[in-house]
Amino acid sequence: MFLGFLLTITSIALIPIVLFFDGAIAQSCISALSAAALAATAVHVQLDEIDHLRPTLPRFMVAALLPAAWMLVQTLPLGIFGIGHPIWSSASIALGSSLFASLSIDPGTTLVALGRYAGFVALGLAVSMITVERRNAERTLFALLAVSAAIALLAIVRPDMIFDLSRYAPDSEAISSVPTIVAIGCIVAVAITVRAYERSETRKKGPSWLVLTGAIPGMAIGGITFFLCLLVLVRIGKGYTIAATGISLGMFAALSLIRRLGFGIWGVAAVGIALTAIAFAVFSQADIVNSTNPLLAFANSGKSGATELAARMLVDARWSGIGAGNFAELSQLYRDINQGTANMASGLSSVAIIAIELGRPALIFIGIGVIILTVILLQATMKRGRDSFFPATGAASILILSITAFGDHALLTPALAILASVITGLALAQSVGRSTRR
C-alpha cells in the first residue's frame, strides 16, 4: 500500500508541472503512473477496505465506465449497420474504395483519449482504496493543499509564467486551468481549517478558547493558503469562476453549520433553495452570462471567434458525436479563413466539447452521474461526524467544476483532471465511516 500511496502523491505533485508540459508524452506518463498506482494498491488492499467501499464505489464505477464504454463503441466499424459518421462515406467516394466506417472520424485518436480517460479513472480508484485509512486521507488532503499553495505562489511571484505561457509552452492551455485549481484550493484550505478545529475539539476538553488554541497551527496553514488562492482567483479568475467559488464556499459553510446544529434534511433543503436562488441571481447578470447557447453559457465570446465556431459545430453535431479527442481535427474544417490554427479550444466550454465529441445523450448521462455523485456526498456530509469535511470538500469541488465547465475547457486539461480524480476518490473513500460509531 505504501508504494501505491507514494505513486498517487507523485501524481498530485505533477499537477504544477503538467500546467506547462501537457503534451502527448506527459499525458502518457500520467496514464502509466495512474495504472501503476492502481496495480500497486490493488495488490495490498485488505478485504475490510473493499467492504468499506462497497456502499458507494460500485455506483461510481458504473458511472465512470459508461463514458469509457461509449468511447469504445465509437471506434467500432458500425458502418455495416448504417450508423457510421457521414465523413467516411465522403472519404470512400473521394478515394474510390470502401472504408470501414465508425462513429468516430478518427478511431485512433479516440482510442488514445480512451486510454487517457482510463488513466484518470484508475487514479481515482487507487486514491479511493488508499484513503480509506484516515491518516492517508489527511496526508492526501495536505498534498492537495501544498499543490494549490505552490500554484498560487507561482502566480504571485512569477506572473509572467502564468500570464504569458506562450513563452514556455506555445501549445499549452494551462492558463485556463489555474483559476479553477486555485478555486478548488480555497475549498481545500477551508477543509484543512475545519479539520484542525475538529481534531483539537476531539482531543482537548474544556472552554472553546482552549480548543481554538490547539487548532491555531492547522488553521493558520489553511488560512494562509486560502488567502493566497483567493488573491490569485480575484486577480485572474473570470466572473463565473469567482461566483462558483463563492457559492461552493457558502455550501461548505452551510453544511458544516447544519451538521453541528442538527437541522437534518430540512436544513439541507432550505440551504439548497437559498443557494439556488443566489446562483440564479448571480448568473443572471449580463457580464457573466454572455451566450444564448446553454452549453456555452459562460464561454468567452471574444476569444478569437472560438465560441462562434463551437456554436456552428453544435448545430451540426450528431447524437453519436465525432469521437472522443477529435474536436481539434474537426474544428479545422469549421474555422474561418482568418482564424489561427493553434489553440482552437481556447475560450470554449468543456460541456460543449463533450457534446460535440461524445454527443448530447452522453453529456446528459454524464450530468446525471455528476448529480447522483453530489447527492451521495451531501448525504455523507450529514452522517460523517468529525470527518464530514472530506465529502463536503468533494461536493463543493464538484460544484465548482460543474459550473466552470460551462465557461472554459479547464476540466479537460491534464492538471485539473488529476485534481478532480484525486478529490473524487478521496471524498468517496471517506463518505462512509469505518465503524458504526462515526
User: What is the tens place of the pLDDT at every residue in 10-61?
Assistant: 999 999 988 887 778 888 899 999 999 999 998 888 877 777 777 777 777 8
Residue at 434 is within a domain: no
Q: Is the pLDDT of residue 161 over 70?
A: no
Q: Reduced to 3 DSSP states, what percent helix, strand and coil does the chain have, rounded to the nearest 5? A: 75, 0, 25
Residue at 437 is within a domain: no
Distance CA 276, CA 282 (A): 10
Q: How many helices (H) and strands (E) does the chain have?
A: 19, 0
Residue at 141 is within a domain: yes
Q: Is the pLDDT of residue 74 over 90?
A: yes
Q: Which positions ≥6 away from 422 have C-beta within 8 Å? A: 8, 11, 12, 123, 124, 127, 140, 144
Q: Is the pLDDT of residue 302 over 60?
A: no
The amino acid occupying position 130 is: I
Using CA atoms, how far residue 333 sits from 34, 145, 187, 267, 311, in Å, is: 35, 42, 41, 52, 14
Q: How confident is the model at residue 120 (pLDDT cuts 50, 70, 90)?
A: very high
Check if the beta carbon of residue 138 is closer than 8 Å to that of residue 430.
Answer: no
Q: Is the pLDDT of residue 158 over 80?
A: no
> What's the pLDDT score for residue 264?
62
Count of domains observed in the chain: 1
Q: Is the pLDDT of residue 71 over 90?
A: yes
Taking phi over 0 as left and psi of -120 to 50 as alpha, with beta for the rest, 214 belongs to alpha
Q: Tell me: the pLDDT tens digits for 171-187?
A: 444 456 899 999 999 99
> What's the pLDDT score for residue 420?
95
> What's the pLDDT score for residue 288?
62
Q: Is the pLDDT of residue 164 over 50?
A: no
Q: Tell me: the pLDDT tens digits for 357-406?
A: 999 999 999 999 999 899 889 888 888 778 889 999 999 999 999 999 98
> What's the pLDDT score for residue 434?
63
> What's the pLDDT score for residue 417?
94
Residue at 40 is within a domain: yes
More confident residue, 11 or 333: 11
Residue at 438 is within a domain: no
* Averaged pLDDT score across all residues of the chain: 82
Q: Is the pLDDT of residue 77 over 80?
A: yes
Domain interval for residue 205? 2-429
Main-chain phi, psi angles of 277, to 5 degrees:
-65, -40
Q: Tell me: the pLDDT tens digits for 228-266?
A: 999 999 988 888 899 999 999 988 988 888 877 766 666
Taking phi over 0 as left and psi of -120 to 50 as alpha, with beta for the rest, 366 belongs to alpha
Q: Which positions ≥6 away from 93 have C-beta within 8 Å? A: none
Residue at 436 is within a domain: no
Residue at 335 is within a domain: yes
> What's the pLDDT score for residue 345?
55
Residue at 70 is within a domain: yes
> What's the pLDDT score for residue 291?
58
Distance CA 426, CA 159 (A): 31
